[in-house]
A and B are shown apart, each in its own frame.
Chain A
């Protein structure tokens, strides 16, 4: 039986649905200190003095740390491969507070009440300075977010802290200005997207203790255990050899936990006190000082001939890093590379970008990682182009979409080895009944029903950077242990990779035992981000299985005393075809545990020089109440090419979940700051994520291509799926109202007044 391309139940499913204590917060040792943070009430301030004397006297308070107690070595909390493109711009505690909620002091106490009381008693004198909150005015502003001299960028990303620049980049293909001049139609528009919070249900949390060997053990809800080990080492200035990071089950990440957010605080307390220590971020802290999507402004110019051939795209993107540059220089790249590359026949393209520091919350990685913003802008501009040309937006896309076999100059010159975007478009049209529904109809109650379309792509891992290693051991009784360094955060990668291993080893899924990550035991993996796990780690599984099969065959042949070439391994036994000679896997397993033999295990690594894009077409059908501007997504269809689907259930749920996050981003997820820089939507009361009543019906179909460089022909799925809702819904809104919307989120109010303006 084949487990790949089947709806396999997750291996940890039953423990999750029966509520077993498997998450970080469930595992905190009884005697662990409770760690809490005193946070800055200002967006830009220097600490003049801190008096902790009264707070230290609170019974149960064990230690209070301030900027004077932490190493003066800057680092980044971005979970990226070393040397990180994100500048080293942080300290665990800094005298200069750069955003509202920046940590001022760390309090550790025997219980929460004591910690809370101590927080109230710490006296801080601030030198409050004017904050820089408008990112469009950040470059060369007189207010410097990072005036410090020990700021440094390890990579040449164009950072210049004396100009508030986190990074700058330019890509030119052909002469965009010249081509645009000769285009029959040019659309030009500026798009704005807000920061979005990942809002995973489990907030950031970590506990730490010194183990029996005197090493620092950090148990954390993280997507990047190995990067976390390095970042802890950088921040605490202790050798990596003294640190172990363990990842239990994670309650969602979506990129938020690709930064080290909560880990450092209990870790430094444990180092200073020798005591176990724990921190659980409140929802408010997760909202105000997490690692959200970067706010961006994008200027797009798209030019085409009058018969609808898209000839050139010019894209400028400005990104708000916020107070710290985590993932700033890298998210911005995807804005261009993963939007322009949707169009295969461009004569010229330009992508300019700048990432700037401001005194808002530092950004991070959120599913889609810049591609989401870029695709919103470029796809919206292309839809506007279709309107200008008087073309069906699907037809315009069919004419211009990238196709299998093309080279992709805007995508690092990678070849498009696998792509069924054309089939995705056909399938989506069929699912939506596009030809009948486009562009709109008016219902009896006066509501307008309209449809909209968008395409999307992403990558599969970071080419030439991401690396995954896998180890598989044969045990007595003939079962396997699959050791992984990638992090299942609910996505099911432990199961998906087990499915691959079971198919490669011709065994039942139950014969594969799999583990969460422990940096002491697990083989190295960059972690679960950049849509890398299925594609990169999956290939490492395939390779490892091949090597292990050879070893099993060799041992079996040795036990049978026959030449290796004459024997075969079918998953259950090594045998010589046409004879009765055979030895079972169980026997080989037992034999490998005996003195005269050797234990059978294999470990292989994989890295890819290319990052094959998965593709998708998304279509929204909306219901608009023209009297109020209230819009509801009634139906959403997604046709997805993620190569071979490894787990049909999990890929479907990934897609449905991503689409719903995208709907939230399009219509109401809206991080707002007060005039002093305090976040106003710092809770689930104010920052609304979609409930089940908000999302309509979602229909998903897969149009699988076969990616020759992927495991079983697979590409990625996790990030791609968040990218279509915003531009598809904007297109549907245009088809309903005749108005173009370029600033997210689009609220009822915006629609109402835009329609009124139009009807004047």
Chain B
């Protein structure tokens, strides 16, 4: 468990940003992952007074506050209406309801954990993060950026007719995934995101496969082009093979009515 000398509930995003510039200060998201580190912080910065716990919808996009909990994502009827079961599928395996009532969207994205179900799925959508300093950055780009002192305030998800599907493989039901895969389609373009490689998720694009052979070729390309590694949960070789399987399954569920 970390220690801290001070706790500040930020009154404005600017205040949070300024506090976060000090190396020994840190923002508390849900606290679930953060408590596992043993760092000695000077000041903990709490964003919970900034009204960032809302899911807002405009005709063009969803705007999700950084402090929206995973449980909110899981149970939001609006998100379900727009993205089907996607948000339920990416959250339901994460530890338990109590955990998901604490853990936040912002915490999940800022950490950019390789094993993140959230990051994998959101990368398959048209998603931007709104940073206090840098402004809007595409999630795909953000996923590649090193950790910095900016403050993630909101997440914007375009509502543009993109359909997405999600698959994950786990050793046990509430464990961290061995591999995650999201697939989405918009205007005939297929985007495939592979996470828990175990490194951070990466995205690839293809033209949407109309035939089984074309899909098989895409799965083969995913296996070949994506880098995989080994850790306690699985070997590089297994992950590579499973990427093809999960990719095919995700694409198949996008193709309604097609059997694979």
Contact = CB atoms under 8 A, between A and B. Distances in A.
The answer to whether any beta carbons of A and B sit under 8 Å apart in the complex is: yes
Interface of A: 113, 627-628, 630, 667-668, 670, 672, 680-681, 685-686, 688, 690-691, 693-694, 747-749, 752-753
B238 interface: yes
Nearest to B249: A627
B176 interface: yes
Nearest to B173: A693
B169 interface: yes
Interface of A is mostly: loop
B241 interface: yes
B175 interface: yes
A694 B169 contact: no
Nearest to A663: B172
Interface string B235-246: 101100110010
A748 B241 CA distance: 12
A747 B233 CA distance: 9
15 contacts: A628-B242, A628-B245, A630-B169, A667-B172, A668-B171, A668-B175, A672-B232, A688-B172, A688-B175, A690-B172, A691-B172, A691-B174, A748-B169, A753-B237, A753-B238
Closest 5 CB pairs of A and B: A693-B173, A749-B238, A688-B172, A691-B174, A668-B171
Contacts of B172: 667-668, 688, 690-691, 694
Among B171, B175, B242, chain A packs the most CB atoms within 10 A around the CB of B171
Given A672-B232, A749-B235, A688 B171 contact: yes
Nearest to B234: A749
Contacts of B27: none
B103 interface: no
Contacts of A752: 238, 241
Given A628-B245, A681-B232, 17 more contacts: A627-B245, A628-B242, A630-B169, A668-B171, A668-B172, A680-B232, A685-B36, A688-B172, A688-B174, A690-B172, A694-B172, A694-B173, A747-B171, A748-B178, A749-B235, A749-B238, A753-B237
A688 B169 CA distance: 15
Contacts of A672: 232
Interface in B174-205: 174-176, 178
A691 B178 contact: no
Interface in B117-170: 169
Given A748-B169, A749-B235, A693 B174 contact: yes
A752 B173 CA distance: 18
Among B169, B172, B173, B238, chain A packs the most CB atoms within 10 A around the CB of B172
B173 A685 contact: no
A628 B245 CA distance: 8
B232 A686 contact: yes
Contacts, number: 44
Interface residues of B, number: 18
A747 to B, nearest CB: 6
Contacts of B241: 752
Interface in B80-130: none
A691 B235 CA distance: 24
Nearest to B239: A749
A681 B36 CA distance: 14
Contact of B176 (A630, A685, A693): A685
A752 B241 CA distance: 10
A694 B170 CA distance: 11
A627 B245 CA distance: 7
Nearest to B93: A693
B134 to A, nearest CB: 31
A747 B169 CA distance: 12
Nearest to A747: B171
Contacts of B171: 667-668, 688, 747-748
Contacts of B36: 685
Nearest to B237: A753
A330 B125 CA distance: 59
A684 to B, nearest CB: 10
A747 B172 CA distance: 10
Contacts of A691: 172-174
B36 to A, nearest CB: 8
Contacts of A627: 245
A693 B171 CA distance: 12
A693 B176 CA distance: 14
Given A693-B174, A748-B178, A628 B169 contact: yes
Contacts of B238: 748-749, 752-753
Among A113, A670, A748, chain B packs the most CB atoms within 10 A around the CB of A748
Among A668, A680, A749, A752, chain B packs the most CB atoms within 10 A around the CB of A749
A627 to B, nearest CB: 5
B171 to A, nearest CB: 5
Contacts of B242: 628
Contacts of A681: 232
A323 B208 CA distance: 58
Contacts of B3: 113
Contacts of A667: 171-172
A694 B238 CA distance: 22
A748 B235 CA distance: 11
A619 to B, nearest CB: 21
Nearest to A756: B241
A503 B195 CA distance: 62
B257 to A, nearest CB: 16
A361 to B, nearest CB: 17
B40 to A, nearest CB: 10
A691 B175 CA distance: 9
A463 to B, nearest CB: 39
A694 B171 CA distance: 10
Contacts of A753: 237-238
A747 B234 CA distance: 9
Nearest to A749: B238
Contacts of B178: 748-749
Contacts of B235: 749
A181 to B, nearest CB: 41
B81 to A, nearest CB: 27
A630 B241 CA distance: 13
Contacts of B175: 668, 688
Interface string B201-221: 000000000000000000000
B201 to A, nearest CB: 19
A685 B231 CA distance: 14
Contacts of A748: 169, 171, 178, 238
A686 B241 CA distance: 23
Contacts of A690: 172
A711 to B, nearest CB: 39
Contacts of B232: 670, 672, 680-681, 686
B39 to A, nearest CB: 13
A573 B36 CA distance: 63
A681 B232 CA distance: 8
B93 to A, nearest CB: 9
A445 to B, nearest CB: 10
Contacts of B245: 627-628
B95 to A, nearest CB: 9
A686 B171 CA distance: 11
A380 to B, nearest CB: 21
Among A628, A668, A685, A752, chain B packs the most CB atoms within 10 A around the CB of A628
A686 B172 CA distance: 11
A76 to B, nearest CB: 32
A630 B174 CA distance: 14
Nearest to A664: B172
Contacts of B174: 688, 691, 693
A627 B234 CA distance: 15
Contacts of A670: 232
A121 B214 CA distance: 62
A747 B232 CA distance: 11
A680 B231 CA distance: 10
A348 B44 CA distance: 70
A681 B172 CA distance: 15
Nearest to A112: B1
Contacts of B173: 691, 693-694
